[in-house]
Structure formats: structure tokens, C-alpha cells
Chains A and B, each alone.
Chain A
Amino acid sequence: MNNAQSHLSRAEAEAMLPDYVFGQLTEYEKDVFEASLANYPDLKEEMTDMQLVFKNLEKEKYKNMHAQRTRNLSVSVLKRLEQKDLRRKKIIRGASFGIPSLAAAAAALIMMFPGIAPLKVGESESTFGMEISSLISSSEADELAQSLLKDETVFASGDFTTASLAADLEKLPASESDMVISELSKEIDASFKTTSDLEIEQLENEIQQEDSEIQQLIQVI
């Protein structure tokens, strides 16, 4: 330790004083401080006061009070962590089951009831139907949705709207209008029939034809 190092400025000595009082200086720092203290008698007096006061202040007493209050902290923290983990697991489990189920339910609802989706302003029912049909994939539910869409397309085609039909019928005599109505009814019925219905009807006709041919053969025999 040389003289230059041993002589602390007033500010340096002040900065070291609390650590000296509380015994937090290294042996070397302690020596430097004590050597410099002779230059600042007022500081030495302050130091003596501090030593006396803080000697009687039971630092451990203050720290022990905190120790008592925190003695169960680790238990509380672990319990809360456990609860948070459980909650997170529940959410993950719920999400992994719930989201796909909800998505499937929503998709099924849209396919079964395409009308539940809102129409845009200026959008016709037929174009809406086309949009829906483009969303439908090839599954059993698709067939149901497709048949519903066909019905919608027929209604929206405009070939026989109620207004134009009523106007045309008014111009005809009663007997002719009845005939037209009957023909139109047949057309409407035919329009409502799905492909499968028509196929069944065709098969039924074929069966009936075969039946009548068999009957004719029996008579010949």
C-alpha cells in the first residue's frame, strides 16, 4: 500500500464509511480507510455515532420478521403453480377435442341448411346456391346439399315465376288455362324430382313393361 492509495479524498472516505461501519470492507480497504480517517476528524465523529446507533439496531430482528412471514411462501407458490398447470391442461384438452368437434358441427350445419349463411346485397339465390355448391365436397352429406341446391336453382330460374304465369293465364279461356295449369304442374313436379327419383321411375316402368310382356307370353302359352 503506497501513500497515494492510502490517502482518500473526503468523498471517497464518505463513500466507504457505511461499509466500514457494517463490516463490509476487505482488509485492504479497511486499512486504507482507517489511514485516511485521521485527515477528517468530523467524519471520525460521525462514524462513532453510526457505530453506536447501528450496533443497537438489531438487523437480524428485522430480517427475521420477513423470514417468519415468508416461511410458507414456497408451499403457496407450488400450489398455485400446480393449479395453473391443471387449468392449462384442461384448456388444452378442451381445445383439442372441442375445436374439431365445433368445426365439424358447423360444417354439417352449413351443408344441411345452406340458407343459414347470410346473402350479400344484390346477390341472387341462384348465385348463392352456386357458391355453396362450390364449397361442398364429395360425401354423403353432399348429395343432400346438392339436391337442396337443385331445388333452389329451379325456383330461382325465372322460367315460370308466379307473376308472369298469372298474367299469361288471365289472357286464356278457362278450359285452356286449366290445361296449361295441369301441364305446368307436371313440369314442376318433374323439375322437383331428383336424378335418383327419375331413375327409380324409369326402372319401375321397365319392370311394368317386362311384367306385361310376361303376361302376354303366359296368355300365348
Chain B
Amino acid sequence: MSASIITLNTDQILIQEYVSGDRERAATEFVRRHQQFVYSVAYRYLRSQDDADDAAQETFIRALKNLHKFRGESSLNTWLYRITMNVCTNIQRKKRVRDFFGLDDVAETIASDEATPAQIYEDSDFEKRFKVLLNELPEKQRETFALRYFDELSYEEISKILGTSVGGLKANYFQAVKKLAVLLKNSDLLDGADIPNE
């Protein structure tokens, strides 16, 4: 908890600097500090590196444009998560329209529960297989796991993002870790590791 307070304080200093100081330096630092979180959220939603990259850029542009309005009433992660999700939804909607009217030369696949062969090809071997395993989890469990395990957000932050009680989140997290442990154990992802198969 104390770590998130420190982060918030330094973020507030960063916001101050962006609003009334060296904008470029503050913007660079702001993006660097949050880029992995924003990118990974976008990537989980859109499942395409190019789309996730576009979404991350757009998210930061919107965030920087409205940074002076951020009052620190919620955490910056919660705020960024909402912007990212809005941007991703817009990107997905545009893609649906483009696909419907056949505007793209090569129809790009909209995010689905299954990773496409093209997407698998562009990802690294480890990532693609891990992604397949993650996709086996129900959506809420997957998002809870990702936000807690990879993005290291507090339960309070995840609770605000997903609109679930902290107690419910902890139960979801336990179920996600339990299922993933079984899936990993039965997969060849951890080949070479000393794990007895079921």
C-alpha cells in the first residue's frame, strides 16, 4: 500500500511539472513510468501488437491532454486503465465497421477468445503459448490475474477498475492461479522444469 502512495506522490509531482514546468521531460517520464501497464492492458484486450501500440499512444495523448484535470481522487492506474479501455473499445468498434464494409485489404481479426495463427506467429514462442493458457481462464479471472500478477496493482485499485469487491477479487485470483497452475503443469511451456505431471 505504501508503495502505491509513494508512486501517487511522485506522479503528482510529475503532473505538476507537466502542467507548469518542463512539459517534454515530464511527458517522457510519465509515459515511461506507465507504458508497460497501458500497453499490456491494451494488448490483452486487442490481442494485436500493432493495435496495442496504437491504443497505448492514443491513451497517453488523451491522458496528457487531460492531465491537469487529474485530481488524484482515484489512483493514476485506475484512471489510465479507464482511458485505455475506452480507446481500445473505439479501436475495436472502428475495426468492426471496417471489416463489415470490407474497407481493409486484408481483413484483420477482431479480438476473440482464440489467438489467430497470424498473431501466434508474430509473438515469441513463450508468449504465444502462455497466452493460449491465459485465454483458457474466464475473462474476469484472467483480468484479475493479469492486473495483480503482471501489473502488480493493489486489490483496491483492481476493485475500482473491475467493479468487484476486494473479497470477490481475492477469490477470483485464487481460482485463476489454481487453474493456471494445473494448465501450466500439463503444458510443455515449462519443459525442463522439475514438475511432476498429473
Contacts and interface: CB of A to CB of B under 8 A. Distances in A.
A55 B194 CA distance: 10
Interface string B104-135: 00000000000000000000101100100000
B193 A56 contact: yes
User: In the complex, which of the residues B28, B32, B36, B43 has the most CB atoms of chain A within 10 Å of its own CB atom?
Assistant: B36
B181 A63 contact: no
A120 interface: no
Contacts of B171: 11, 14-15
Given A70-B56, A73-B39, A78 B178 contact: no
Contacts of B181: 46, 49-50, 53-54
Contacts, number: 102
A17 B177 contact: yes
A46 B27 contact: no
Contacts of A58: 126
Interface in A68-118: 69-70, 73-74, 76-78, 80-81, 84
Contact of A63 (B28, B56, B57, B150): B150
A77 B31 contact: yes
A217 interface: no
B40 A21 contact: no
Interface in B19-78: 24, 27-28, 31-32, 35-36, 39-40, 43, 49, 52-53, 56-57, 60-61, 64
A168 B42 CA distance: 89
Contacts of A80: 57, 61
Interface residues of A, number: 35
Interface string A35-73: 000000000001001101111111101110111011001
B126 A61 contact: yes
A53 B190 contact: yes
Given A14-B171, A77-B31, A81-B64, A69 B195 contact: no
B27 A50 contact: no
Contacts of B193: 52-53, 55-56
B190 A57 contact: yes
A15 B155 CA distance: 11
A52 B195 contact: yes
Nearest to A58: B126
A18 B158 CA distance: 15
Given A16-B170, A56-B190, A81-B64, 19 more contacts: A14-B171, A18-B177, A49-B185, A50-B181, A53-B180, A59-B149, A62-B126, A66-B39, A66-B43, A69-B52, A69-B53, A70-B36, A70-B56, A73-B56, A73-B60, A77-B64, A78-B28, A80-B61, A81-B61
Give the top 7 A-B pairs by smallest Cβ distance, nearest first: A15-B170, A56-B193, A74-B31, A70-B35, A18-B177, A77-B60, A56-B190
